Structure 1
Amino acid sequence: MSSREDETLAQAAVTALTGQLALAPKPGLPDPRDLGARALCRDHGSLRWSAKALAPGLAAMAAAARRTGEPTPGLRAELGAIGRSTEHSVGLAGGGHKGALWALGFLVAAAALDARAGAQDVAFAAKKLAAFNDKGAPRRPSRGSSISAKYGAAGARGEARAGFPHVRRAFEALTRSRASGATQAQARLDALLTVMSTLQDTELLYTAGPLGLRHVQAGARGVLEAGGTATEAGREALSALDADLHARAWSPRGSAGLLAGALFLDSLPVGTHTRLA
């Protein structure tokens, strides 16, 4: 049974995910502008609705971690079982968020291991959890793992086992952009673009191939090099990238889930925030 602390962590993670969904304009990704487009409103609306279905599973992950008290193979197996059950629940609620579920699940469980842990400690504990094999995982490779093997990309599993480097980079980008005077929304968009600029997104590799992936990465870097979304030049570059990706129907979905992880770390008590190595 989950405690109030577990439910608070789960709600913080869901709030991070819905906060990511609320950002606009997100190049190639669903955002509130879709609500005005008849063909896309169901997509964005269902994503907002199904995000709430993650809460019970994330609370159960936090409870399992709190009960176990340390990263162990047994806890990893329990998190895997809870995650697969939550995937089913989210599917019934409209689907989506698979990458975000696992990123947030590891981070929520890691945060539950130590209530005093800051962002750096949470990321390190999540890395230790992800290092264990999930013996209950399906033997059939997923599309993401197949694409990872084909192109040598880290994929979701590699990202977790490396301690979520792109989540940490996004977290640093958030704090850096805010310190330079960016608004909260601008800082979050800069954090998303920071992830997009280097992530080997398996969704993009599947739909656009290596050349398409590099095109998206270069576009994201172009926005940041123009000064980020707090500048006029950066906003113009973002608008061009957004139009380009929507026209090509290319979606950097992996980056969106990792941004949600960074927003969750950012929700931890301010006094626990430390620079991520």
Structure 2
Amino acid sequence: MKSEMQSFSDIAAKVAVRSLIEEVELTPKPGLVDQVNTGAHQDLTLQLMIKSAETLTDTFKNIAFVSYGRNPSQALREEIAAIGRIGERKMFEATGGVNTHKGAIWAIGLLVSAASIGKGRFTIKEIVKRAGEIASFPDRHCPNTNTNGRIVTLKYGVGGARGEAQQGFPHIMKFSLPMLYRSRAYGLTEEKARLKTLLSLIAHVDDTCILHRGGTEALMFAKKKAAYFLTKDNLECINTLDEEFISRNISPGGSADLLAATLFLDKIHALKAVDEVQKYELIK
């Protein structure tokens, strides 16, 4: 029989991977890979994104396992970072060197770790708080390489994925989760609720993926357009936004990572109140 630690690690990994797959399958998404097109990307496909997500199962499982019942610490930060780097290598092997989920490994890996610290009993607020505490410890073994994200954060003075995590994922707590819950309460379909959730992120996040491709002009354009389309009841008009983003080479990849993280938090929170059979239904 599996221990509680093993069982939760399995569940957390399944929820994490499921959240990544649901993010990429959401359609239509402006400038992003979905079931209709590959957005502003020439090197990505839906199948490649799904394959990449599935290769991360062991990564998230191992992060959950080493974090179970512990407290945020320097040692834990560096342990999960080492696991994350192994996950990155597996991702690149599966995708032929294409970066599909590096940002998601960071964000969701931290949330998996934080949820496992609480043995699956933490509230969402407690999870993001612990995740921020973990992220605030330096990783002394991190390779000193100039990634696109690091270059952009220095060039434009934005927090990026690291700052978002260290602050306890404020854009999730202030914008995406409230939008998801509010949209459901208004009776929107789950697909439309998630599309509005994504738009709420694009409208507010200083997305380093957008900045990397098009600078501040592209970021301001994306934010303005997303905020405008949020006011529209007919979300079919997102197809128009998709065309505009593709023509301008805009890909809100950072917002997509935060959408997947939002879905993870929503699912992991829902699991607290259900039995084992229902848990299987939620994560399959």
What TM-score, normalized to structure 2? 0.88
Change (3 A) 1:78 1:176: same
Question: How much has 1:225 moved relative to structure 2?
Answer: 2.1
1:42 and 1:138 map into 2 onto residues whose CA distance is: 26
Give how far 1:260 is off.
Answer: 0.3
Deviation at 1:170, TM superposition (A): 1.1
| Inter-partner Cα distance in structure 2 for 1:202 and 1:22 | 22
1:166 aligns with: 171
Counterpart CA distance in 1 for 2:84 and 2:266 is 23
Q: Is the 8 A contact 2:25 2:46 kept in 1?
A: no
**What is the CA-CA distance between 1:4 and the residue it aligns to?**
2.0
Aligned counterpart, 1:50: 52
Are the equivalent residues in 1 in contact too, given 2:12–2:268 (CA < 8 A)?
Answer: no
1:225 to 212, 220, 231: 231
Q: How does 1:88-237 map to 2 (within 5 A)?
A: 88-94=89-95, 95=98, 96-114=100-118, 115-168=120-173, 169-226=175-232, 231-232=233-234, 234-236=235-237
Once the two structures are aligned, what percentage of the paired residues are identical? 34
> What is the CA-CA distance between 1:150 and the residue it aligns to?
0.7
2: CA distance, partners of 1:194 / 1:93: 31
What is the identity, as a one-letter code, of the residue corresponding to 1:43?
Answer: T
Q: 1:121 to 1:92 in 2, by over 3 A?
A: same
Instruction: Output the amino acid matched with 1:270.
Output: A
- 2: CA distance, partners of 1:40 / 1:63: 36
RMSD after superposition: 2.0
Report how far residue 167 of structure 1 moved: 2.4
* Structure 2 stretches lacking a partner, 5+ long: 274-284
Shift of 1:93: 1.0
| Structure 1 gap ranges (5+) | none
Paired residue for 1:85?
86
Alpha-carbon spacing, 1:8–1:141, altered in 2? closer, same or farther (3 Å): same
Residue identity opposite 1:148 in structure 2 = T
Measure how far apart 1:171 and its partner are: 1.4
Q: What is the aligned partner in structure 2 of residue 30 from structure 1? A: 33
- Displacement of 1:41 in angstroms is 9.5
Aligned match of 2:281:
none
Cα distance in 1 for residues equivalent to 2:170 and 2:30: 21
**3-state SS of 1:250 partner:** coil
Q: Distance in 2 between matches of 1:59 and 1:82?
A: 10
Q: Are 1:118 and 1:268, in contact at CA under 8 Å, matched by a contact in 2?
A: no
| 2:75 matched residue in structure 1 | 74
The aligned length equals: 264
Q: Distance in 1 between matches of 2:43 and 2:76?
A: 39
Measured in 2, the distance between the counterparts of 1:267 and 1:177 equals: 16
SS of residue paired to 1:32: coil
